[in-house]
């Protein structure tokens, strides 16, 4: 059996992975699951998947997790070292789904020769892309994209030699404010921004989708994952979320991957590649769907996309700073401390005030740059509120 561990097991990616594994019969066994702060949800998943080890990041929740798992034969631990243990335990595939910069250290800890890392945490590649790719190569880990867009690009790239690639395009749903005016968007509440039209995701990534920052982060991620230069990367808004990514070749051919929006699909592809794993996901019926629409993103209404593109073009520590500032600003918006456009204002001003340097060469360097960016962003939050319009 293929041994699998899931980091971020109680989040949206982890739940999708659990669904795929539960339907895969005896082809897989679960070595470890790691979650953040919900011992009941983590224990339920560990028991359902018959995991050998469960780790919870919140040390205070450790006793509760151990009590819930008592008598099951499932070992458990709590805190940073336990999560790192879960990442490093013997497994053939590790689904790296811990959200945000917090996922960087455990994902790198999972690297090992011949091990497949299903990368669902885009911040790892945004905050420390050059190091992340180099460390995977050094250890012999096989990075496999689990984001629906990057998984689609991965599949489409197989249609021709890399030297024949002309453009890589990732799609954006446009989020809940795709057709809204700037004035309406400026008044948006967190509840408004969390109403994603197509995907069920965690709060942070859902807000990133509403600002289109997620597409900017995905451009940076694609640059590192596929070694595609920034000028060959682009975004198109596609509200149906059926086409997940395209690759254009020098002969004029365009290869696209189409599927119903469901994270179980790229996860199943990661687990079974180069084979295919049957799933119960909804099948695509083009005749019933009727039409697919596409439009250019509006960086005037969604300035975060422009900020991310600029950070990608600049390189060095700029993407790390962008990511740290964005995490602070999104949290502040969700807490009601700043308005929707305060997110972009905070990120832009943090970038302007931060000293630039080379790209981080280690987890420690990435975390230090991130911490400095967060400190600056936090100091700007009251000012960001006045720039909400």
Tell me which of 3.40.50.300, 3.40.50.720, 3.30.1370.60, 3.40.720.10 is the CATH number of domain 2-146.
3.40.50.720
Let me know: does 43 contact 54? Beta carbons within 8 Å.
Answer: yes
* Fold classified for 315-389: Rna Polymerase Sigma Factor; Chain: A (1.10.1740)
In the block, residue with structure tokens 């060959």: 232
65-74, 275-284, 313-322: lowest mean pLDDT where?
A: 275-284
pLDDT 10s digits, 129-176? 999 999 999 999 999 999 999 999 999 999 999 999 999 999 999 999
pLDDT 10s digits, 254-284? 999 999 999 999 999 999 999 999 998 999 9
In the block, residue with structure tokens 């179980």: 264
With a cut of 80, say whether residue 386 has pLDDT above it.
no
What is the spatial distance between Cα 18 and Cα 356, in angstroms, rounded to a whole number? 41
pLDDT 10s digits, 5-58? 999 999 989 999 999 998 898 999 999 999 999 999 999 999 999 999 999 999
- For position 117, what pLDDT does the model report? 98
Q: What is the DSSP string of 248-301?
A: EETTS-EEEEE--S-THHHHHHHHHTTS-----PPPP-HHHH-----B---TTT
What is the spatial distance between Cα 176 and Cα 283, in angstroms, rounded to a whole number? 24
The CATH 3.40.50.720 domain(s) of the chain lie at 2-146
Question: Hey, what are 5's tokens?
Answer: 């561990």
What is the spatial distance between Cα 127 and Cα 155, in angstroms, rounded to a whole number? 25
Mean predicted confidence (pLDDT) in 89-111: 95
Q: What is the pTM of this model?
A: 0.93
Question: Hey, what are 203's tokens?
Answer: 């709060």
The CATH 1.10.1740.10 domain(s) of the chain lie at 315-389
- Per-residue DSSP letter, 52: S
């Amino acid at each position: 059996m293929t041994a699998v561990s899931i980091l971020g097991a109680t989040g949206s990616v982890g739940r999708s992975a659990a669904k795929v594994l539960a339907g895969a019969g005896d082809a897989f066994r679960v070595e470890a699951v790691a979650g953040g702060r919900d011992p009941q949800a983590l224990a339920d998943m560990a028991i359902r998947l018959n995991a050998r080890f469960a780790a919870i990041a919140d040390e205070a929740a450790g006793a509760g997790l151990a009590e819930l798992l008592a008598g099951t034969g499932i070992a458990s631990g709590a805190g940073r070292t336990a999560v790192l243990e879960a990442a490093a335990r013997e497994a053939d595939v590790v689904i790296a789904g811990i959200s945000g910069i917090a996922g960087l250290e455990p994902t790198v800890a999972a690297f090992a020769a011949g091990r497949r890392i299903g990368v669902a945490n885009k911040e790892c590649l945004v905050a420390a892309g050059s190091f992340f790719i180099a460390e995977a190569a050094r250890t012999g880990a096989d990075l496999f994209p689990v984001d629906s867009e990057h998984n689609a690009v991965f599949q489409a790239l197989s249609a021709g030699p890399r030297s024949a690639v002309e453009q890589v395009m990732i799609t954006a749903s446009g989020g809940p404010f795709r057709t809204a005016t700037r004035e309406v968007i400026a008044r948006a509440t967190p509840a408004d921004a969390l109403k994603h039209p197509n995907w069920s995701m965690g709060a942070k990534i859902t807000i990133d989708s509403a600002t289109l920052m997620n597409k900017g982060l995905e451009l940076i991620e694609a640059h590192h994952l596929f070694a595609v230069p920034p000028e060959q990367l682009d975004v198109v808004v596609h509200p149906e979320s059926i086409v997940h990514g395209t690759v254009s070749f020098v002969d004029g051919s365009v290869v696209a991957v189409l599927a119903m929006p469901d994270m179980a699909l790229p996860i199943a592809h990661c687990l079974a590649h180069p084979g295919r794993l049957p799933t119960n996901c909804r099948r695509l019926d083009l005749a019933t769907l009727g039409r697919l629409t596409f439009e250019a993103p509006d960086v005037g209404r969604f300035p975060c996309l422009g900020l991310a593109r600029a950070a990608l073009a600049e390189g060095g520590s700029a993407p790390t700073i962008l990511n740290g500032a964005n995490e602070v600003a999104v949290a502040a918006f969700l807490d009601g401390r700043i308005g929707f456009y305060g997110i972009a204002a905070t990120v832009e001003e943090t970038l302007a005030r931060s000293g630039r340097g080379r790209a981080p060469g280690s987890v420690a360097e990435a975390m230090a740059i991130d911490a400095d960016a967060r400190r600056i962003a936090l100091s700007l939050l009251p000012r960001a509120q006045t720039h909400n319009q």
